[in-house]
Amino acid sequence: MRAQPATGKLCVRAREWASLRLDGELSEFEGALLRAHAARCADCRAFMRETEAITEHVRATPLEPLERPVLLPSRRRLLRPVPLAAAATVAALAGLVSGLSLERQAQLSPSYSAPPIIDAQQIRAVHRAQLRPVVLRLNIRPRPLEP
C-alpha cells in the first residue's frame, strides 16, 4: 500500500515528526502528538509504516564499495582571483549607485525624516494602553420633549 500525499498542515507536520522519530530526534511531547494524530489518520499511519520499513531496509543493507574514488576539484581551481576581483568590483559599484540614489532621493524630498527610534519602554506602554478596557464617556444632554 502506498501512503497518500499529505492533505493538510497537521499531516505535513506529523510526517515531518515521523521522519525525525526515525533518527531519534523527536521530543516526547512531539512523539505524543504524533501518536495521537496517527491514531486518527490512516494515511499518516501508512506513511509511518512505509518510512520505517524503508529506513530499516537501508540501514540493514551492507555498504557497497565504490568502483573508483570520488575526486573533488582542488580549492585553488574553485577560488580564482579574477572572479573574486570582479565580484568585489560589482559589489562596490552597487554600493556606490545605491548611495547616490539615496542622496538624490534626499535632495528631491527634503521633508523626509528618519522614523523615530522607539525603545522597549515605549513599546510596553503602547501594549499596556491597548490592554486597558476602553470606557466611553458620552456627553449627551437630554433634549426637552416637544409639546
Find all residues with CB under 8 Å of 11, minimum gap 6, and list them: 37, 41, 43, 44
Give pLDDT, residue 47: 93
Three-state SS for 94? helix
Task: Output b/e per residue, 29-45; b: 16+ Cβ within 10 A.
Answer: ebeebbeebbeebebbb
Give pLDDT, residue 77: 54
Mean pLDDT over each residue of the chain, to the nearest integer: 77
> Quick check: pTM over 0.75?
no
Residue 39 has pLDDT above 90, yes or no: yes
In this prediction, residue 86 has a pLDDT band, given cuts at 50, 70 and 90, of: confident
* Contacts of 9-14 spanning 24+ positions with Cβ under 8 A: 10/37, 10/41, 11/37, 11/41, 11/43, 11/44, 14/38, 14/41, 14/44
